[in-house]
């Protein structure tokens, strides 16, 4: 890259996550050597350490109770809101203080912010490996419909992971940047973003180098994961019809059904019909069958229609019609499902734009925004909006809106308050976000205690409470008593967030245990590597006994036992040493097998061509 500071863009997804950056030749997703750009948003607890990404996803059907997925759905939410979600998860989620939830694995518990931080920490590590230098700053994307608590939780996760989150940006807006929609002269564009766990649709008005988000609507509880669940339930009913005594309620059986459903969904996005097989360990039960795309469409049609309901709401809020939309941009892995594309085309009356990889487009847009913030030249102005109205609880439990939904960011508003009791020195102000008329139907963001007011008769103080939403969509509140000029202090008690002290403690713990975590991670990776090597040796053992002396094969067996013994311990360097020794001992076998394969191919070539080494 140039001398500009690197600010990576991160798409922290429900199902998958990835990072991107802007290089000399342009923006691209970051791929560590020999790895994919996309990392599954899955964590698996092993001892005191974490397995993250593809390796963790493999543990989901082996150890479902210690494998955590769809963390994004837990961010900034309380146990009551998440009740239905928690019932479907294969790991334990428990209520905690201040409306927080915690994930329990054995004797340990973790907040969603801590778990998301582990994902971000791994993305940071992968990005540094791809770039060859440290990364300290990032732009992180969130669904447009994420409220203040969810945005704050995302920022906290970044801080815990050791990242300076310089901007929180809406996913549909990031996608619009990546598509280069600012290059258009004018027009109305819809960004349809269907990910693993969330859905958003945003309408953007493009005018020269300015593109403004007119409205946004969505559902933070709707995505491809929900398609999988419907398919898994269909599979469950089919298996029970064929095997009435099957035990399908265990976490392991549920995880296997879900994994099979996900593979079915992917296959049916490419083919009109496919087969499936289900092996349930411990039950000696195997079920198989066929499913058609038509059957899949019938299952998921109501969910797809819900996305179109959101599209109608967004159009209504913007005062536009579907016919006025000139381009429809598809974002998110679940937008690949054929029924989704068909219904979107029918709704808008035009074929959707799928010119960029829907899995990478959000991270690429965030990277471009990061490049801009780092001082890179990109000649456009981005005007985003706040998704839901912000306001206060007023008399009778009504909701007084100060900043309206779909207001362009940044935004500011204020309201005057007074006291109802003589000599009152403090006032409680309850902050909410939503669109309903009563606070009981809106989302509580927190209780703000305004302290230090001078004692005055009731009704005399004039307390100006100011709301300010920054470019990240994050709310801050300040207060001032106008008559005395006294600035009132504000003590924020987050309803669904971590306090500064909790974040500091989590960060201190991560520093304190960093070496232990690294050792445990390396042990898990080396054990997996050892298992793969053992399988390779066993597969070639007949060749080994034929090609090597009995003394050599005996030494290999002894070394394999030594590796197994060291793998039970906690010293990754010792395990690597023993693995390296095993590798050196089996090198002659590997060379012989390769030579044997080459000779076989040569003989086949001579037989096919009628030539031989003596000809010519």
Active site residues: 11, 72, 171, 193
DSSP helix/strand/coil, 465: strand
* Rounded Cα–Cα distance for residues 52 and 510 (Å): 16
Q: How, if at all, do strands 101-105 and 92-95 pair? A: antiparallel
Are 395 and 349 spatial neighbours (Cβ–Cβ below 8 Å)? Answer: no
How far, CA to CA in Å, does 52 sit from each of 58, 117, 120?
A: 10, 11, 10
Spatial contact of 344 and 328, defined as CB atoms under 8 Å apart = yes
The end-to-end CA distance of the chain, in Å, is 54
Cα–Cα distance measured from residue 54 to residue 289, given in angstroms and rounded to the nearest whole number: 28
DSSP 8-class letter at 162: T
DSSP secondary structure of 340-377? HHHHHHHHHTSPPB--S-TTTHHHHHHHHHHHHHTT--
Length of the chain, in residues: 616
What's the DSSP call for residue 408?
B
Contact 525, 55 (CB under 8 A): yes
Bridge-based pairing state of the strands 443-451 and 426-433: antiparallel
C-alpha span between 557 and 582 (Å, rounded): 9
- Helix, strand, coil shares of the chain, percent, nearest 5, are 45, 25, 30
User: Strand locations in 226-378, DSSP E?
Assistant: 273-280, 285-292, 327-331
- Measured between alpha carbons, how far is 448 from 489 in angstroms, rounded to an integer? 10
**Which residue bears the tokens 């543990």?**
59
Whether residue 226 contacts residue 340, with contact meaning beta carbons closer than 8 Å, is answered with no
β-pair partners for 194 = 199
Among the listed residues 109, 115, 126, the one whose alpha carbon sits nearest the alpha carbon of residue 160: 115
Query: If residue 326 lies in a helix (H) or strand (E), which one and from where to where?
Result: none
Helical (H) or strand (E) element with 76 = none
Q: Distance of alpha carbon 424 from its chain centroid, rounded?
A: 46
Peptide bond into 389 cis (omega under 30): no
| 44 vs 524: CA distance, rounded Å | 11
CA distances, 534 to each of 161, 294, 331 (Å): 35, 44, 42
H or E segment and range at residue 585: helix 572-609
The torsion angles phi and psi of 556, rounded to 5 degrees, stand at: -65, -45
């Amino acid at each position: 890259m140039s001398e500009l500071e690197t600010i990576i863009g991160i798409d922290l997804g429900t199902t998958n996550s990835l990072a991107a950056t802007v290089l000399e030749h342009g923006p691209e997703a970051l791929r560590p050597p020999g790895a994919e750009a996309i990392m599954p948003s899955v964590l698996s607890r092993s001892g005191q350490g974490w397995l993250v990404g593809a390796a963790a996803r493999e543990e989901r059907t082996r150890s479902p109770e210690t494998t955590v997925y769809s963390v994004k759905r837990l961010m900034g939410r309380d146990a009551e809101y998440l009740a239905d979600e928690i019932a479907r998860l294969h790991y334990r989620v428990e209520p905690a203080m201040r409306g927080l939830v915690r994930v329990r694995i054995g004797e340990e518990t973790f907040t969603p912010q801590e778990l998301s931080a582990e994902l971000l920490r791994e993305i940071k590590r992968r990005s540094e490996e791809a770039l060859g230098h440290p990364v300290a700053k990032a732009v992180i994307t969130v669904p447009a419909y994420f409220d203040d608590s969810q945005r704050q939780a995302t920022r906290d996760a970044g801080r815990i992971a050791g990242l300076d989150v310089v901007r929180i940006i809406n996913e549909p807006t990031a996608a619009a940047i990546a598509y280069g929609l600012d290059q258009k002269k004018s027009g109305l564009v819809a960004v349809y973003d269907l990910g693993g766990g969330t859905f958003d649709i945003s309408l953007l008005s493009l005018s020269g180098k300015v593109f403004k988000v007119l409205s946004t609507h969505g559902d933070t509880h709707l995505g491809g994961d929900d398609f999988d669940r419907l398919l898994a339930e269909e599979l469950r009913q089919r298996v029970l019809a064929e095997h009435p005594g099957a035990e399908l309620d265990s976490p392991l059986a549920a995880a296997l059904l879900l994994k099979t459903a996900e593979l079915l969904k992917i296959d049916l996005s490419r083919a009109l019909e496919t087969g499936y097989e289900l092996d349930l360990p411990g039950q000696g039960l195997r079920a198989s069958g066929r499913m058609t795309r038509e059957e899949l469409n019938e299952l998921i049609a109501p969910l797809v229609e819900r996305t179109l309901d959101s599209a109608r709401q967004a159009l209504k809020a913007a005062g536009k019609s579907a016919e006025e939309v000139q381009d429809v941009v598809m974002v998110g892995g679940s937008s690949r499902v054929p029924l989704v594309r068909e219904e979107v085309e029918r709704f808008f009356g035009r074929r959707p734009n799928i010119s960029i990889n829907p899995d990478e487009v959000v991270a690429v847009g965030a990277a471009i925004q990061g490049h801009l913030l780092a001082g890179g030249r990109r000649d456009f102005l981005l005007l985003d909006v706040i998704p839901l109205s912000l306001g206060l609880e007023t008399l009778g439990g009504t909701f007084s809106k100060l900043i309206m939904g779909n207001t362009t960011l940044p935004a500011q508003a204020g309201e005057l308050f007074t006291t109802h009791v003589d000599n009152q020195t403090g006032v409680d102000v309850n902050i909410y976000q939503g669109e309903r008329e009563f606070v009981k139907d809106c989302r509580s963001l927190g209780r703000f205690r305004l302290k230090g007011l001078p004692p005055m008769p009731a009704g005399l103080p004039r307390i100006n409470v100011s709301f300010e939403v920054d470019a990240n969509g994050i709310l801050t509140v300040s207060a001032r008593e106008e008559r005395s000029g006294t600035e009132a202090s504000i003590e924020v008690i987050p309803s669904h967030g971590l306090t500064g002290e909790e974040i500091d403690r989590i960060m201190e713990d991560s520093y304190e245990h960093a070496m232990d975590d690294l050792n445990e991670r390396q042990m898990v990776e080396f054990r997996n590597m050892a298992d793969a090597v053992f399988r390779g040796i066993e597969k070639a053992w007949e060749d080994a006994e034929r090609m090597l002396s009995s003394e050599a094969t005996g030494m290999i067996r002894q070394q394999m036992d030594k590796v197994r013994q060291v793998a039970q311990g906690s010293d990754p360097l010792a395990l690597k040493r023993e693995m390296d020794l095993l590798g050196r001992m089996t090198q002659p076998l590997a060379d012989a097998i390769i030579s044997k394969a080459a000779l076989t191919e040569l003989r086949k070539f001579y037989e096919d061509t009628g030539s031989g080494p003596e000809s010519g």
